[in-house]
Amino acid sequence: MPLTLYTFSGAPRGWRVHLGLVFKGLSADVKYLSASDKDHHKPDFLALNPRAKTPVLATEQGVIRDSIAILAWLDRQYPERPLFGTTTDDAAQSWQIVMECCDYLRDGNHALLSRVFSSVDAVADRGTPENKEFEDAAALVHAEFSYLEEILADGRRYLGGERPGAADAVAFPEIRLVQRGCDTKPIRMTALGFDAQLSRYPHLSDWKDRLHGDAGVMQTMPPHWAA
Ligand SMILES: N[C@@H](CCC(=O)N[C@@H](CS)C(=O)NCC(=O)O)C(=O)O
């Protein structure tokens, strides 16, 4: 059955859905919109989502918007390889991590990375209001990285358990975006306590590398990063 995913290259919420498809072994036609050309405000896309937001998944049954709604739909529509676990406890655990990543890690990353990506790669003077904004945002992200590190420290391979699931699909783009910040703005990110190897978070680093080792996951990497 044909599935079409509309997203932006590197947008974390569309990336979640792309990963969810990969984890379930499903293929989809992925259409990358151009944010700079405001494709999401053009009539063709507004007909799919009047809110002018990605991701959107077009299916034979209709159109679904919102990343988490799409992951939930995929899990019901294609029960093989469940994204939200098989037991009641697994489901609760998966949903809890998913929603906490949406509520806290996403906000922290937005606060941090919107500043980092648009800044020059230098360390702001200590004690300046600008530096405090960076440090406050970094503290939010460190708190959420510590939370995920603790979950993974019990030896589980994935946040979803033995197989990657929705929690991994939501967390991976956030961790990769921080790594991207380290790759592109190393001076700033090092000063904020982050490095590309995620040295402060060894379990999170191993988990990220494990997912990186999956060819399907590699296909979800933002195309514009290869440019
Ligand atoms: N709750 C929605 C949020 C969707 C959302 O904010 N998407 C961002 C990309 S990650 C977007 O489309 N931004 C474009 C804009 O706000 O102009 C979801 O999880 O899908």
Alpha carbon dihedral 57, 213, 24, 92, in 10-degree steps, equals: -90
Residue 200 placed within a domain: yes
Q: What is the CATH number of the domain that holds 37?
A: 3.40.30.10
Residue 83 placed within a domain: no
Q: Is 0.95 topped by the overall pTM? A: yes
Determine the Cα angle at 102 with ends 9 and 138, to 5°: 85
Q: Residue 122: what pLDDT?
A: 86
Q: Residue 126: what pLDDT?
A: 75
Residue that is last in its domain, among 20, 46, 77: 77
In a shared domain, residues 26 and 138? no
Q: Residue 1: what pLDDT?
A: 60
In a shared domain, residues 58 and 127? no
In a shared domain, residues 103 and 59? no
Residue 127 placed within a domain: yes
Give the amino acid at 106.
Answer: R
In a shared domain, residues 55 and 164? no
The total of other beta-carbon atoms located within 10 Å of residue 55's CB is: 25
- Give mean pLDDT in consecutive 10-residue pieces for the chain, a chain of 227 residues: 94 98 97 98 98 98 97 97 96 97 98 95 80 94 98 95 97 98 96 96 98 97 93
Residue that is last in its domain, among 49, 77, 105: 77
In a shared domain, residues 108 and 203? yes
- The atom number, within ligand 1, closest to the CA of 8 reads 9
Atom 2 of ligand 1: nearest residue by CA position: 66
In a shared domain, residues 99 and 171? yes
For a substitution probing ligand 1, which of 54, 71, 103, 176 has the most ligand atoms within 8 Å of its CB?
Answer: 54
Number of domains forming the structure of the chain: 2
Alpha carbon dihedral 76, 174, 203, 169, in 10-degree steps, equals: 10
b/e 36-54 (16+ beta carbons within 10 angstroms → b): eeebbeeeebeebbeeebb
Alpha carbon dihedral 202, 204, 205, 207, in 10-degree steps, equals: 120
Residue that is last in its domain, among 51, 77, 103: 77
Beta strands in the chain (DSSP E): 4-8, 29-33, 56-58, 63-65
**Separation CA 162–CA 45 (nearest Å):** 37
Q: What is the CATH number of the domain that holds 200?
A: 1.20.1050.10
Q: Residue 114 is part of which domain span?
A: 88-226
Residue 82 placed within a domain: no
The total of other beta-carbon atoms located within 10 Å of residue 177's CB is: 22
Q: In what order do the strands lie in the sheet with 29-33?
A: 29-33, 4-8, 56-58, 63-65
User: If DSSP codes are grouped into helix, strand and coil, which group holds residue 38?
Assistant: coil
- The atom number, within ligand 1, closest to the CA of 16 reads 19
User: If DSSP codes are grouped into helix, strand and coil, which group holds residue 227?
Assistant: coil
